Amino acid sequence: MAIHSSNIRAHSAFIFVASLLALQGCGGPVSASPAVTTTPAVASTSAKPMTRVVGSSQIDEGRYLVKIGGCNDCHTPGFAMTNGASPAEPEWLTGDSTGFSGPWGVSYPANLRLSFQNMSEDEFVTMAREGQGRPPMPWPSLMAMSDSDLRAIYAYVKQLGPKGAPAPAALSPGVTPDRPHIAFVPQMPPISRAMNQ
């Protein structure tokens, strides 16, 4: 029975690490290549694929990176649940009160529209490089971006202007949240009677 319990713990740890690694893929690294790319990213306001265009403005580059980086998936309420169909771009990146709970406590997606109003471009680049925030933010993906990519994201979010309310404060491990949250804790399937014998 001790071996069985040890195997379950090892399997649980593997699933937890695998799920964290899978989350990091949500906002994969992007290079600031000046070439036109043909990899489409579906725009939330239309079904047309979008491509990165040579000579596009810094704001357009930032919009592109926000779209393909998955920023809206967490930082825009309802975006992931509608597969990007809503809300419209003027409502993007206003944070969310649905949290993510795990061994780190509970984290809430920040209202980037407010956060970026209170930090400089250099402060954002430094924060992205340090990557010391709570999960499930895909910090390794942000840290892999070029300075040019990070500055384009900053310029795009900053030009959207302030909107919405601050996200709830993060909670320490063991504190029970008083609002909806998504648990990032591996769940083991029921063990059959045959395995227990």
Confidence of residue 197 (pLDDT cuts 50, 70, 90): low
Helices and strands (H and E) in the chain: how many: 8, 5
Instruction: With beta carbons less than 8 A apart as the criterion, state whether 74 and 114 touch.
Output: no
Note the pTM of the prediction, 2 decimals: 0.70
Distance CA 105, CA 83 (A): 27
Tokens (6 digits) for 37: 């790319």
Confidence class of residue 175 from pLDDT cuts 50, 70 and 90?
very high
Q: What is the three-class DSSP state of 57?
A: coil
Greatest distance between any 2 Cα atoms in the chain = 67
Q: Which has more pLDDT, 129 or 46? A: 129
Main-chain dihedrals φ then ψ at residue 116, nearest 5 degrees: -70, -20
196 Cα distance to chain centroid: 39
* % of the chain exceeding 90 in pLDDT: 64
Q: Tell me the three state secondary structure of residue 148.
A: helix
Q: In this predicted structure, what is the pLDDT of residue 146?
A: 97
**Size of the chain, expressed as the number of residues it contains:** 197
**pLDDT for 14:** 35
